[in-house]
Amino acid sequence: MTTEASLRFVLYLGVMCALAWPLGAYLANVAERKDSGPARWLAPLERVLYRVAGVDATREMTWREYAFALLGLQFVGVLALYALQRMQTHLPLASEQLAAPAPDLAFDSAISFVTNTNWQSYGGESTYSHLVQALGFGVQNFVSAATGLAVFFALARGFRRTSASTLGNFWVDVVRATVHVLLPLSIVFSLALVSQGVVMTLAPSASVELLDPTVDAQGAPASTQTIALGPVASQVAIKQLGTNGGGFFNANSAHPLENPTPLSNFIEWLAILLLPVACCAGFGRLVADRRQGKALFAAMFVIFVPLAVLTIHAEQSGNPRLTALGADQVASADQSGGNLEGKEVRFGAFESALWASATTAASNGSVNALHDSFMPLGGLGPLALMQLGEVVFGGVGSGVYGMVLFALVAVFLAGLMVGRTPEYLGKKIERFEVQMASLGVLAPCFVVLLGTALAVSFEAGRAAIQDPGVHGFSEVLYAFSSAGNNNGSAFAGLGANVPFYNVVLGLAMLVARYAVIVPVLAIAGSLAAKKSVPPSAGTLPTHGSLFVVLLVGVVVLVGALTFLPALAIGPLVEQLQLGAGGGA
């Protein structure tokens, strides 16, 4: 990396941590129902929602009741969003006369937004009306993120409580996460984005005169351009803060009306990792040991930085084939340098590569560049960040509870080495917890590899691959890594809007989301029923550097053993071919 890029990287991480750590304290207060500050001002809205929904805010739930309530809400969300898409031509704000999406696309999109994946097999401005984007996708951006926070709250209570049979109330947790966290932050970020020129209107598309008339694809004269408009700023704010990632426009955050300035780019960049990092701080407070949150953050940071640097270096180094042809790809006062294929020149290689690293680390999926055009090692970084389980910061709430699953596996392995029953945060980790943790860790891996194998085995899957050879395989692997870890970004060379991919990727998103959430809630319920065990001379400290190294080792080892063969025949082979000058 250049010196300038290094300084900007450090600045980004520094500002993010400076904002996220106090936000973590606020998150803990929200989870514990301490109404102070903004929470006090928004309490009346919270009470109104309970009254309208008929929720008894004082009643607590067992982990099974909590899980059933969660799954019930998600099921209703999928049905409602599917119906909204299919009926869009008969609903208000459909001024563009857009046709209803095909059943398989509506199925895929409904599951995508409900599961916090936001995988898009469509162009937003050319497929869905303002109503569907705002009422359908926008609402699920809030609900899916609030669901992740609710599960995070429940898990923290499982560690904190002793001899208890309940974990809190799911409806209360979702409402509080929405009203006290996501809504106020979204308002602040929406206003900041509007100030930078991000569009926010219910007006239909605008037709403007071209400064330089041209001809269209059929050779006919063209003197006007149609510019899509819509309620963009509000959706961008919650898509970034809630680690959703779905773009109002097909070009996502590379679109000049969705991300127009360097400052808007930094604001959106910041929003991607803000809440995931804050959850680390909040976890430490919720379990009454702030060192535990710092240990989880340290493990995430140690994994994130090298992979981000790999991606940035690969993109800033440029394409060796162009260098051999005499192209100047070195950063200078006159150019940003590096591999600029598929990138906005106003962002350049560094900002595009760092965004790609942040969005795949945070289970966000928004993009400001075309990942399909990254160099092979530049694409490997985002792939690896997803394949490690979306626990390197991860989604809102889901990153921490996913990393805790790895922590349970780590203390179990440490216990085997010394012949002791493992402990974590004062609770004995026994067979049930290890089984559930293993299920949560391995389910996304199974989904990714099985989905990729099916796609390259059937003609319906191979027919959608744009590029032959190893890069085409990487496109498929990326798609299922994204869906199987609830990320949503894509190597766009894969033509995924076909029945095969819409159905299979939709099922992958379902399994990847709930095969992790349900085991997490089961673990929380089991831990809450146990008594706390005071630490002894044989207890492994889970807040020090030794545990951080062990945790990082477990995460990397599981990812390497699972995905290294697939990466070897994808981006790694492509990198070797690139260096040898051969075709992909």
pLDDT band at 582 (very low <50, low <70, confident <90, very high): very low
**Are the C-beta atoms of 141 and 239 separated by less than 8 Å?**
yes
State how far Cα 107 lies from the chain centre. Answer: 20
Task: Write down the pLDDT at residue 137.
Answer: 93
pLDDT band at 580 (very low <50, low <70, confident <90, very high): low
Query: Residue 458: which H helix or E strand, with range?
Result: none
Question: Most confidently modeled of 238-252, 442-456, 531-545?
Answer: 442-456
Task: Write down the pLDDT at residue 578.
Answer: 84
> What is the arithmetic mean of pLDDT over 409-436?
90
**Are the C-beta atoms of 162 and 532 separated by less than 8 Å?**
yes
The secondary structure of 97-132 as a DSSP string is: -PPPPPHHHHHHHHHHHHTT----SS-HHHH--HHI
Task: Write down the pLDDT at residue 96.
Answer: 66
Structure-token pair, residue 388? 């490690």
pLDDT in tens, 516-530: 999 999 999 999 999
Q: Does residue 377 surpass a pLDDT of 70?
A: yes
pLDDT band at 584 (very low <50, low <70, confident <90, very high): very low
Tell me 531's DSSP state: P
Q: Is 84 helix (H, G, I), strand (E, B) or coil?
A: helix
pLDDT in tens, 307-328: 999 999 999 999 988 888 888 8
Q: Is 241 helix (H, G, I), strand (E, B) or coil?
A: helix
pLDDT in tens, 3-46: 888 898 999 999 999 999 999 999 999 999 887 677 788 888 99
Query: Residue 212: which H helix or E strand, with range?
Result: strand 206-215
Task: Write down the pLDDT at residue 415.
Answer: 87
**Are the C-beta atoms of 523 and 147 separated by less than 8 Å?**
no
> What is the arithmetic mean of pLDDT over 400-409?
96
Task: Write down the pLDDT at residue 421.
Answer: 78
Q: Say how far apart CA 511 and CA 149 lie, in whole Å.
A: 19
Spell out the residues 6+ positions from residue 234 whose beta carbon is closer than 8 angstroms to its own: 134, 138, 186, 190, 200
Task: Write down the pLDDT at residue 188.
Answer: 95
Task: Write down the pLDDT at residue 218.
Answer: 82
Percent of the chain residues past pLDDT 70, beyond the cut: 98
CB atoms within 10 A of CB 43: 15
**Are the C-beta atoms of 120 and 109 separated by less than 8 Å?**
yes
Q: Does residue 123 surpass a pLDDT of 50?
A: yes
Is 462 within a domain? Answer: yes
Spell out the residues 6+ positions from residue 142 whose beta carbon is closer than 8 angstroms to its own: 178, 182, 183, 186, 238, 242
Task: State the Cα torsion 37-41-45-50 to the nearest 10°.
Answer: 50
Task: Write down the pLDDT at residue 210.
Answer: 87
Task: Write down the pLDDT at residue 332.
Answer: 77
H, E, C per residue of 330-390: CCCCCCCCCCCCCECCCCHHHHHHHHHHHHHHCCCCCCCECHHHCCHHHHHHHHHHHHCCC
**130 vs 503: which has the higher pLDDT:** 503
pLDDT band at 583 (very low <50, low <70, confident <90, very high): very low
**209 vs 67: which has the higher pLDDT:** 67
* Nearest of 245, 224, 233, 230 to residue 94 by alpha carbon: 230
Query: How many domains are contained in the chain?
Result: 1
Q: How many CA atoms lie within 13 A of 305 on its CB side?
A: 11
Task: Write down the pLDDT at residue 95.
Answer: 62
Task: Write down the pLDDT at residue 98.
Answer: 84
Is 219 within a domain? Answer: no
pTM for the model:
0.94
Spell out the residues 6+ positions from residue 431 whose beta carbon is closer than 8 angstroms to its own: none
* Cα dist from 288 to 156, 284, 299, whole Å: 10, 6, 19
**490 vs 1: which has the higher pLDDT:** 490
Task: Write down the pLDDT at residue 350.
Answer: 92
Query: Residue 210: which H helix or E strand, with range?
Result: strand 206-215
Is 390 within a domain? Answer: yes
Spell out the residues 6+ positions from residue 69 whose beta carbon is closer than 8 angstroms to its own: 61, 170, 171
Is 218 within a domain? Answer: no
* Nearest of 432, 426, 430 to residue 541 by alpha carbon: 426
Is 215 within a domain? Answer: no
Q: Could you tell me the residue range of the domain that residue 400 belongs to? A: 3-208+225-580
Is 217 within a domain? Answer: no
Q: Does residue 290 surpass a pLDDT of 80?
A: yes
Query: Residue 428: which H helix or E strand, with range?
Result: strand 427-428
Polymer length of the chain: 584
pLDDT band at 393 (very low <50, low <70, confident <90, very high): very high
State how far Cα 87 lies from the chain centre. Answer: 28
Task: Write down the pLDDT at residue 205.
Answer: 85
Q: Does residue 200 surpass a pLDDT of 90?
A: yes
Q: Say how far apart CA 347 and CA 335 lie, in whole Å.
A: 11
Which range is least confidently modeled, 214-218, 304-308, 341-345, 413-417? 214-218
pLDDT in tens, 207-237: 888 888 888 878 888 888 888 888 999 999 9
Spell out the residues 6+ positions from residue 197 whose beta carbon is closer than 8 angstroms to its own: 257, 260, 261, 264
> What is the arithmetic mean of pLDDT over 88-98?
79
CB atoms within 10 A of CB 292: 23
Query: Residue 197: which H helix or E strand, with range?
Result: none
H helix runs in 398-487, sequence order = 398-418, 431-457, 459-462, 470-483
Is 152 within a domain? Answer: yes
Q: Say how far apart CA 525 and CA 462 lie, in whole Å.
A: 44
**Whole-number mean pLDDT of the chain?**
91
Q: Does residue 490 surpass a pLDDT of 70?
A: yes
Is 198 within a domain? Answer: yes
Structure-token pair, residue 341? 């294929």
Q: Is 461 helix (H, G, I), strand (E, B) or coil?
A: helix
Task: Write down the pLDDT at residue 228.
Answer: 86
> What is the arithmetic mean of pLDDT over 103-127?
92
Tell me 426's DSSP state: T
**Are the C-beta atoms of 289 and 543 separated by less than 8 Å?**
yes
Q: Say how far apart CA 12 and CA 8 lie, in whole Å.
A: 6
* Nearest of 331, 431, 321 to residue 376 by alpha carbon: 321
Q: Does residue 2 surpass a pLDDT of 90?
A: no
Q: Say how far apart CA 24 and CA 29 lie, in whole Å.
A: 9
Task: State the Cα torsion 79-101-96-208 to the nearest 10°.
Answer: 120
Tell me 89's DSSP state: G
